[in-house]
Amino acid sequence: MFDRIVKFTNSTSFLNASKVTIASVIPVLIFNFLGHFEIGFTIALGAFYTYPSDIPSTLSHKIKGLIVASFIVAGVNLLVNLVYPYPYLFYPFLGFLLFLCSMISVYGQRATLVSFSALISISLSFGHIHEGWEAFAYSGYIFTGGILYLIVSLAFHFIQPYKYIELEIARGIRLTAKYLKLRGDLWSPEANRKTIIEKQLSIQVELNEIHEDLRKVLIGNQSSSATSQNRKMLLVFITLLEIQELALYTSFDHSKIHEKFDKHPDVLRTYQNVAYKLASTLKKLSKNVHHIAIYVDKNDLKNELDALEFAIFDYEKTLGKEAAAEGVLMLTNMLKYAKNQVGKIKIIQRAFSLAMQSYKLKDKDKELEKFLTPQYYPLRTLIENLSFSSSIFRHSLRLTITILIGFIVGKFLPFQNVYWILLTIVVIMRPGYGLTKERSYNRIFGTLLGGLLAFGIVSVVQNHVILSIFSIICMLLGISFAQANYKISATFVTMYVVFIYGILVPNVVEVIQFRILDSLVGAILAFLANQFLWPAWEFINTPIHIENSIRANRTYLREIADFYNKKGEVPTSYRLARKNVFIEIGNLMTSFQRMMQEPKSKQKTLPIVNKLVVLNHSLLSALASLSTYIQAHQTTSASESFNYIIKTILLNLDHSISILRNETIITDTFFDKEDVTLQFEEMKRKNFTRLATDEELDKETRQAKMQEAQMVIEQLIWMSNLAEKILKITKDLKATNPD
């Protein structure tokens, strides 16, 4: 239990919640002491409005982003207060303002969060309408709160400049350990491979988010503040990416391998032990990020590696060299993979220890800035999205109409606090049906539970100091759980609100009743709007994500083939292609998960999409296997057969993309299946005959060349089969969903 509490308090979500809690509590305490509680509370609101836009970025982007967010949330609040006295002007203006604030989401993650803050500011502005100079003063206090939050955030940054990076690195190491553990699970004969792959994809989605955040901070700061610590963290980040790619290197056809080693299960079990030990070592490492100098893995995985070497030797001795040759090649490749992973883990250990005081980027890392998403906001982007083909446009229109309906319902029916209805709509309404439905349920559940718990406490505790402490704790916990568990977050936020009202007003029971009722109305409106106002069903968007995944795999394959043909240094274009394919397959998995949350009537293509998710991930695994091997070994020249088969795979992927785009396919460009099979046979014959008869090669070199031939051919066969299946199932998808 204690470890879980420490883990929670030592997380990025708790760190961010601490910043906004401090920025909110300080002005309330100071101005309450001076007898101006309302001013302090308004400044606290400004800090609360601004904090969502404090996302991972360079220091320059952080400062500019938070200042702009402070200005926007204060500005929209002022506009609402100034226009509110004029009903005929107010309603159309409110609609326009809501729509505009929603549409700025087209400019990316930070803009989306600023949009959210602006909508929250508009909603809560109806809690107390101000007139004249009072409206300007109120908005000024909100802006002051935003600047105060900026100051607190900067203080956290300068006191512990690498705290956030360390926490994200630790989280990334921990998730990578889980990923390796799942790779090990695949080697069990009774393993449910479908379930394991789905879990891997879910972890990959989380890893993609962590990697993107780390890129913004580490690479963005590389040129301006190339400190030793920043370079060390960058080394660890790059190594984590390589560990994940190496993990995919073990992606063999497990059914075939289990069949081959059916009578020798101990060999695979020994390898599985190595995989589990790799995962457990990384997991221990994630717990010791802050004091890694005292962490030493006493056996350095040596026992497991020695056991695997002995198992390979015993396997060869039992079967004889000729009969065991193919199996020994497979097992030797696995052993080399394990040794490579151990090497990567040691790099991370040294990076956090005193053994590595500095790290200079290699020449190949000088173009790291290319991995950052460009930060610019042209007006053209907004104009291009002003059509029903844009999901953001549809969501903005849907959200605007729903908030207006909520405002009218709250205004003309006997509701106590109309802004709670609006706040509920803004908080739970998402572009997708499934997430809105889930958040509606969690919001209602959390409000009911939080209201009951808080009411019980307020009934017993009347001391304002104790209630103030409870409210601060609940605010901290509510914000901390906002991303991880919205149900728990809603519970603590409701308790926080009740405690605040318990301090300010005597009749807290009435407050709870109206909050529950208002939350229920807001949740129902949001749910109905997402179902009936231009619903964004996922089966409409999924083909786009499938196309992007296939396209990313195709680009990655081309980069690998080019590198195999040309040799030399790995180009930046290859590494960009690798980054992109991980992101796109993660996006596809996220789309599939959203589809699973939708009504059964909208899941007609779910089984087909599931197959395409798994096939694209398997293709990525095969590509990573081939890529990792050719980078780690001195390979021979690419043969004509190799390039011919690569062309067949690329063509099948091109045809899949054409089908998804409803483009005409020229059928006479298909490769003959028998011809492809002959090319495989020719590759095998030429490679193994040449290697067996070449007397100039010593035993070690001959074995290395045979390993290369075995590895390359196995992966080409697998990739060819996967590309054919992707093409076939893509046709099935279009037949099921022709639109």
pLDDT tens, residue by residue, 77-121: 999 888 888 888 888 998 899 998 888 887 777 888 888 888 888
What single string gives the DSSP state of each residue in 302-371?
Answer: HHHHHHHHHHHHHHHHHH-HHHHHHHHHHHHHHHHHHHHHHHHHHHHHHHHSTT----PPPGGGTTGGGG
The two structure tokens encoding residue 240: 């984590």
Tokens representing residue 520 in the block: 């229920």
User: What is the distance between the alpha carbons of residues 321 and 268, in angstroms, rounded to a whole number?
Assistant: 19
Closest CA to 250 of 196, 344, 345, 330: 330
Average confidence (pLDDT) over 10-29: 84
Q: How far apart are CA 11 and CA 31, in angstroms?
A: 31
Least confident of 111-125, 490-504, 537-551: 490-504
Residue 408 has pLDDT above 60, yes or no: yes
Q: Which of 525, 518, 519, 486 is nearest to 398 (CA)?
A: 525
**What is the average per-residue pLDDT within 15-33?**
86
Contact predicate 274/301, CB 8 Å: yes
- Whether 78 and 135 have beta carbons less than 8 Å apart is answered as yes
Q: What is the DSSP letter of 190?
A: T
Query: Using a CB cutoff of 8 Å and minimum separation of 24, what contacts does 451-456 make?
Result: 451/494, 451/498, 451/512, 451/515, 451/516, 453/491, 453/495, 454/494, 454/495, 454/498, 454/499, 454/502, 454/512, 455/498, 455/508, 455/509, 455/512
Tokens of 52: 């969502």
Q: Which of 151, 152, 124 is nearest to 138 (CA)?
A: 124
CB 491 within 8 A of CB 449: yes
Tell me the per-residue pLDDT of 415-466, one tens digit each, with 9 for 90 and over: 667 878 888 888 887 777 666 777 777 777 887 888 788 777 877 777 777 8
- Which residue intervals of 413-507 are DSSP H helices? 418-428, 433-460, 464-480, 486-504
Q: How many CB atoms lie within 10 A of CB 491?
A: 26
| Entry field: residues in the chain | 739
61: left (phi over 0), alpha (psi -120 to 50) or beta: alpha
3-state secondary structure of 216: helix
Q: Which two tokens stand for residue 30?
A: 């100071």
Q: Nearest to residue 557, comparing CAs of 640, 631, 633, 653?
A: 653
The CA distance from 472 to 23, in Å, is 12
Mean pLDDT of 186-190: 74
pLDDT score recorded for residue 700: 52
Token code pair at residue 332? 């030797």
Token couple for 720: 């060819």
DSSP 85-140: T-HHHHHHHHHHHHHHHHHGGGG-HHHHHHHHHHHHHHHHHTTS---THHHHHHHH
Phi and psi torsions of 649, nearest 5°: -65, -45
CA distance 78 to 72: 10
The pLDDT value recorded for residue 498 is 76
pLDDT above 50 (res 362): no
Confidence band for 175, pLDDT divided at 50, 70 and 90:
confident
Separation CA 232–CA 250 (nearest Å): 28
Token digits of residue 131: 């007139």
- Greatest distance between any 2 Cα atoms in the chain: 96
pLDDT, one tens digit per residue, over 575-631 is 788 878 888 888 888 778 777 777 777 777 788 888 888 888 888 878 877 777 676
Q: How confident is the model at residue 566 (pLDDT cuts 50, 70, 90)?
A: confident
Q: Is 35 helix (H, G, I), strand (E, B) or coil?
A: coil
Number of other CB atoms surrounding residue 139 within 10 Å: 26
Q: In the structure encoding, which two tokens stand for residue 378, read together?
A: 């042209």
In Å, what is the CA distance from 645 to each residue of 287, 326, 500? 45, 22, 69
Q: For residue 295, give the DSSP letter.
A: -
Asked whether the beta carbons of 530 and 429 are under 8 A apart, the reply is: yes
pLDDT at 250 over 80: no
**Per-residue model confidence (pLDDT) at position 143:** 93
Helices 37-50, 12-33: axis angle to 10 degrees equals: 160
